[in-house]
Amino acid sequence: MPTTLIGLDGVPYGLITSYAEKGYLPNIASLIARGEIVQMESTIPDVSSTAWSSVITGANPGEHGVFGFFDIDRQTGRLCFPQFSDIHVSPFWEGKKAAAINIPQTYPARIENGLMVSGFVSPTVEKAVSPAGWLEKVRELDYRIDVDSSLAQESMEKFLDDLYAVLDSRMRLFRETRDAEKWDIYYFVFTGTDRINHFLFDAWDDESSEYHKPFVDYYRKVDECVGEILSTLKPEEKIYIHSDHGFCPLEKEFYVNRWLVEKGYLEFATDSPALITDMSPSSKAFSLDPGRIYINAKDRFPNGSVGTGDREKIKAEITEKIMRLESDSVCPVARVADGCEVFWGPVSSRGPDLVFLGRRGIDIKSLVAVDGLFGKRIFRGMHTQDDAFLIAGQKENLPSPFHVSRIASLVV
């Protein structure tokens, strides 16, 4: 049965149900009325690259191998960025005629039978379109893969204008591709929702905020676009709309690498470190976003210092110490997930030893150029592992909470 999937990156269940009830999202609300909506859990860690890789493969990070947007290369010790070609499991559309448009972590594009236009992070358009025959068309449409988020630093108005410009270009691509072939699977993702959430999520239900109206207006516009897609559905077609993780307002950021320095696990080779790769080889542990803790083991990293025997000991020490940390009489970390328990599969040993999940409102960041343990920058929203959503446009009695890695099973 042909299936259309619409992704709304970073949209929480709480927001979608509230806005639907208030009448801000008429198209999504009528789809919920026809079918059903369930809350959904994301992957650990709750970052788009990992979550989307699980969505499209139905696999655990230990199986598909994407644990974040970046890693430390085991051979060179340098930063590296996992690509779509590094994913160890085939996407669920293999063997079908599929369009996969703007799915994060699918660069460089590669599809055997259909059309793929990669999503965030795609450094070039050339390698973001497969088959290459489509490249000229995509260029003609003046298609934009992502908003320029750095504009938010300059002016929120410019950032908002750019969000709309990207959304318009995305819909041009939709109109061009929707009926270009008889698709078995048509997968179309909106990522502007995640971007606006990062900068303005505190305004989502705060009517006194100057950005409340712009925030709601953008969601109204996205609903309009969703409505346009829904209007093209064929009677026999199944439809799902879903997000990849939840979101909540950000109160402050917790700089976990700084904490590792204070506790003596991490040292830098320079006085003003810019990146985690500036750490000195004697370091025992370090963190990569979001909240991934790696023991700097000798058998894992070229500059490793910890012997196999000490790895578990250090893991236990770090877990115990972080749970004792308090800020405003609460621990910033709500849960410490043990990599051995949450990752399974052939490449699970490449995953982090521990994952810190932040308390609601406290975003765990791996930034190294910081002075204190806590801080706040321009960001007003943060990801959550719970509270993603899944809407089925037909009654299916989905279990709740659903899990992002089970979406594939609904389609195959």
User: Smallest gap, in angstroms, from Cβ of residue 162 to another protein?
Assistant: 12
- In the complex with another protein, the residue whose CB is nearer, 122 or 283, is 122
User: Smallest gap, in angstroms, from Cβ of residue 298 to another protein?
Assistant: 18
Backbone phi, then psi, for 381, in 5-degree steps?
-140, 155
User: Smallest gap, in angstroms, from Cβ of residue 349 to another protein?
Assistant: 8
| Contacts (Cβ under 8 Å, ≥6 apart) of 74 | 300, 301, 302, 350
- In the complex with another protein, the residue whose CB is nearer, 150 or 270, is 150
Element (H, E) at 130: strand 129-130
Q: Interface with another protein by CB under 8 A: which residues?
A: 57-58, 69-70, 75-76, 79-81, 89-90, 92-97, 112-113, 120-121, 123-124, 146, 148-150, 152-153, 195, 198, 253, 275-276, 289-290, 346-347, 349, 363, 365-367, 377, 379, 408, 412
Only one residue has tokens 């592992």, namely 385
**AA letter at 363:** D
Name the nearest CA neighbour of 364 among 326, 333, 330: 333
CB contact burial 153-176 (16+ within 10 A = b; e otherwise): eeebeebbebbeebbebbbebbee
- In the complex with another protein, the residue whose CB is nearer, 148 or 237, is 148
Beta bridge partners of 129: 117
Rounded-to-integer distance, Cα 400 and Cα 411, Å = 18
- In the complex with another protein, the residue whose CB is nearer, 71 or 386, is 71
User: Smallest gap, in angstroms, from Cβ of residue 325 to another protein?
Assistant: 21
- In the complex with another protein, the residue whose CB is nearer, 35 or 339, is 339
User: Smallest gap, in angstroms, from Cβ of residue 69 to another protein?
Assistant: 5
Rounded-to-integer distance, Cα 112 and Cα 153, Å = 40
User: Smallest gap, in angstroms, from Cβ of residue 194 to another protein?
Assistant: 9
- In the complex with another protein, the residue whose CB is nearer, 25 or 170, is 170
User: Smallest gap, in angstroms, from Cβ of residue 70 to another protein?
Assistant: 7
User: Smallest gap, in angstroms, from Cβ of residue 168 to another protein?
Assistant: 21
- In the complex with another protein, the residue whose CB is nearer, 30 or 149, is 149
DSSP letter string over 193-220? HHHHHHHHGGGSS-TTSTTHHHHHHHHH
Only one residue has tokens 């988020």, namely 149
Rounded-to-integer distance, Cα 378 and Cα 199, Å = 7
Name the nearest CA neighbour of 14 among 245, 334, 358: 245
- In the complex with another protein, the residue whose CB is nearer, 57 or 193, is 57
Strands 374-375 and 252-255 turn out to be: antiparallel
Contact (CB, 8 A) for 375 and 252: yes
- In the complex with another protein, the residue whose CB is nearer, 124 or 282, is 124
E-strand ranges in 348-396 read 354-358, 362-365, 374-375, 381-384, 388-392
- In the complex with another protein, the residue whose CB is nearer, 78 or 313, is 78
Rounded-to-integer distance, Cα 275 and Cα 254, Å = 17
User: Smallest gap, in angstroms, from Cβ of residue 27 to another protein?
Assistant: 28
User: Smallest gap, in angstroms, from Cβ of residue 58 to another protein?
Assistant: 5
Per-residue CA distances from 99 to 199, 316, 369, 400 (Å): 30, 46, 41, 28
